[in-house]
Each structure stands twice: as structure tokens, then as C-alpha cells.
Amino acid sequence: MRIAMIGSGYVGLVSGACFAHFGHDVFCVDKDAGKIDRLLKGVMPIYEPGLDKLVADNVEAGRLRFGTDLAAAAGDADAVFIAVGTPTRRGDGHADLSYVYAAAAEIARAIRGYTVVVTKSTVPVGTGREIARIIGEARPAGEFDVASNPEFLREGAAIEDFMKPDRVVIGVESDRARDVMSGIYRPLNLIQTPMVFTNIETAEVTKYAGNAFLATKITFINEIADLCERVGADVHDVARGIGLDGRIGRKFLHPGPGFGGSCFPKDTLALAYTAREANAPQTIVEQVIEVNNSRKKKMAQKVIDFCGGSVAGLTIGVLGLTFKPNTDDMRDAPSLDIVPALQAAGAKVVAFDPEGMTEAGHLLKDVTFAKTAHEAAAGADVLVVITEWHEFRGLDPRRLKETMRQPRIVDLRNIFDPEEMRSLGFAYEGVGRPGPRS
């Protein structure tokens, strides 16, 4: 099938490349001419494992193209996917839908025959109806349907998630649109992927409900971790004890400094706003937002308390700046709260992140960026782990101890074994882990 992907950011580029890998003819469009120029040269605008090869292979095969001309991409497409940004709107927390509606207006001018216009962007309930109104008013005699097909991609594992999804949710309301969407996802029938067909509103709510639930699980285990620290329990054992219950599940029960990224912060805000407008307030989600925001700030104080109540004049080595490993995404990363707070308390910060330092350089001031993890630790009075990159798990504690000024670690991701670190002479503190045995 012929697919136009409007927006070549994270969702659009990954989805477009994966659809091309399914065998479809995909044309990815973006208004950013610089981004398109880089893509035409094989330079990825984001870091996502395996994406560069996937794009290159499908460009070479002639199934994937890039350009800035929406009309050329959408004119003869069977389906046009809207995958533009929906950032949080300033002032009220609602999703900014201006890019979505602008894309809809352009699509209305571009399409010629029957077309399914699909929202891939994360949008509040009611957006699909508004897209249909925009296109219908511009082309009252036009043949089109609107569908909702939310993405459920984890940054760092997006290609795997797209190729082998738990499910595909599709909101459609005509047999013709359902046939088009079924044809697009037909390759997934081979692995018997569940296809959940709903109306448009249900698909829109499903995306927000899913992200809100996962954000709630993270916030829940973070608060349990606080309790564990006070009573001498181990949150990892607690998480395992409850996670083995099939009704709960083990995923997203890993304590840390709070959630960030492109989805959970803005989607919980948007859901809370939409629910208040609908007179159905989501009080649990609102509490999750509040607790998560305060947790990021508390993590800096945790480091300060660990250092005896002051970090003035100390050098703090920081491992990891991105909101999670295997991405260069700094959006709402806990480091954006933790690092400035430590600096305000008088510390010098030396940081290392395998992929995020370029973007972090635009967002964090007066930070010394190291070339390696060991360089960040060298001469440090305390080492703080903020992001759990796999390479940090393999660090040699003995070498760390030799280079640090003081062998102290605050492990906000619990990547090290507390007893091992303490046996090697480190002062160590994790999240929700018991202190040293007396």
C-alpha cells in the first residue's frame, strides 16, 4: 500500500521505516528541510538502536522516501498518517494540537481519491472528530475516513515494539477504512498479533489510559521504596514479591528518580486536563503527576543528605543524563532537576552519558562533560547514578574506588549490589534498599 507519514520525528520516522519494512511504499514528510536533508544523507535525527540500518535498507530497496512536499506524498496515498508533535500547551497542561490540525488542513487540500487519514500522534479524545470536521469542510465531496492508531513504542526498543507488538489498537468506523488498516498491518497476522478494533474515541482514550497506568505503577513503587528505606525493607524483593502476581506483573516496578521522557509527563497532564473538562476528574493521575514532580527534586536532597547535609565545594560525578537508557532524549529527564539543584547547593558536576550529552549541553549549564564513565568518576567526592545505561552495570568498582577522591555512591537506579560495594569500602546508598548491616 501507499502510505504518507506526516512528521518525521520519533514516531513518524520509526513507524514509516517499519511500514516500509512490511513492504509498503512509504513517503515520510517533514517541514524541517534540514532534517529531511540529513535523512536523505542517511543521518538520523534521533538515536534509536537499529534505526539507521532499517532506514538505509528500505531506502535502498526503494520502499522509503523523504521530502518536504506534503501534497506529493499524500496525493495518491491509501493512508495518510499524522505523526506530528503534540507538546504540552503552556498554561493549562493540555496537548497543543495546532500541528495536528494544520496537518489535517493540508491533507484536505492534497488528497485526490479515497484516503484514510490516521492519527498516529498521541491526541486527546475528540481529536479525530475535529480532524474529520476540518477535512469535511474543506472537501465536502471528498472520499475519506478518519482513523485512530495510537503508538505504543518504548524509546530504545521501538523497532522491536513495532515489529512484534503486544497488540495494535485501531479506531475506525467504516468497513472500508477497516479493510485499509487491516491491509497495512497484515504482515503482523503471521505472528498472530491481536488487532483491537474500536471506535475512534475508544482508541484515543486507550493510549492515554495505558500511559497513565504505567506512570502510576512507577510512582507507586517509588513511594513503596521510600517506605522501605524507613523500615529496613528491600524494595527489589518487595517488587519481585508482588510482581510475580499475574494480576500485577513485574514490568514498571523498578524504583528510581521519577519518570520523564516524551510520553508519560505530557500524556498524564493531557489526560488530567481532558478529564476535568469532561467533569470526570482523574484524581489518581493528578496525584501521580504531583508525586513524580516532587520526587525528582527530592533526589537532589537525597544526595545532599548522604554527603552529611552539604555538597558545597564537592565534585559530583554523574552517570547518565537521558530520561532512560538507549535514547538521546532529554525531555523531562530527572537529571534536569537533580543536576541544577546540586549546582545550586554549591557542587561542581562532571557528567557522562553515552548518547545524551549533546542535547544535555543545550539544557544544563556549567556542567563538565566527561568522555567516559571513569573520567566522570575521577576525583569525585560522590558518584550519582541517574540513568541505568547497561555499560554502567559493567563498571569495575575497584577501578572506580582508585580514581575517586572519596568512595561514595548514590545509586538512584540500583544498578550496583549494595553488599558488594560496601564490602569494597564504598559508602553506598540506593533507592529503597536497606542500609549496612550492623
Residues labelled as active-site residues = 263
Distance CA 97, CA 123 (A): 8
Q: Is the dihedral of CA 34, 39, 40, 41 positive or negative?
A: positive
First-last CA distance in the chain: 67
241: Cβ contacts below 8 Å, ≥ 6 apart:
none
Distance CA 79, CA 152 (A): 19
Nearest Cα to 55, choosing from 35, 84, 74, 32? 35
In degrees, rounded to 5, the angle at the alpha carbon of residue 157 between the alpha carbons of residues 51 and 85 is 75
295: Cβ contacts below 8 Å, ≥ 6 apart:
219, 222, 257, 258
- Contact yes or no for 265/336 (Cβ under 8 A): no
Distance CA 180, CA 322 (A): 38
What values do phi and psi take at 156, rounded to 5?
A: 95, -20
Distance CA 37, CA 27 (A): 14
Nearest Cα to 129, choosing from 160, 156, 97, 168? 97
- What's the one-letter identity of residue 211? N
Residue entry with cell 510482581: 243
